[in-house]
Amino acid sequence: MKSSEFDRKFDSGEDVTSDLDLSTSTRTNHTPKRINLDMPQWMVAKLDWEASRLGVTRQSVIKIWLAERLSR
């Protein structure tokens, strides 16, 4: 398919995902990076309580809260 045909389909709102090879796609800046974080025991306890309340892991709570804060 020529790029002009692809552009026409995309611009007209047609679904172009079937025309893409997504097998090698990557998300920029989404490679996990391991860090260590020291915090007081009371913070860990509150994080664990919140994680239990939400039914998710402590790590998920931390990532969600950090993402919300950083997107402001």
Q: Give me the helices (H) in 12-57, please.
A: 41-54
**pLDDT at residue 46 is higher than 90:** yes
Which residue type occupies 34?
R
Residue ranges making up the domain that contains 69: 35-72
| Rounded percentage of the chain residues whose pLDDT exceeds 90 | 71
**pLDDT at residue 22 is higher than 90:** no
The H or E element spanning position 10 is helix 3-11
Which residue type occupies 68?
E
Is 55 inside a domain boundary? yes
Query: In terms of Cα–Cα distance, which of 22, 12, 16 is closest to 1?
Result: 16
State the total domains in the chain. Answer: 1
Gyration radius of the chain over CA positions: 21
Is 25 inside a domain boundary? no
> Any idea how long the chain is?
72
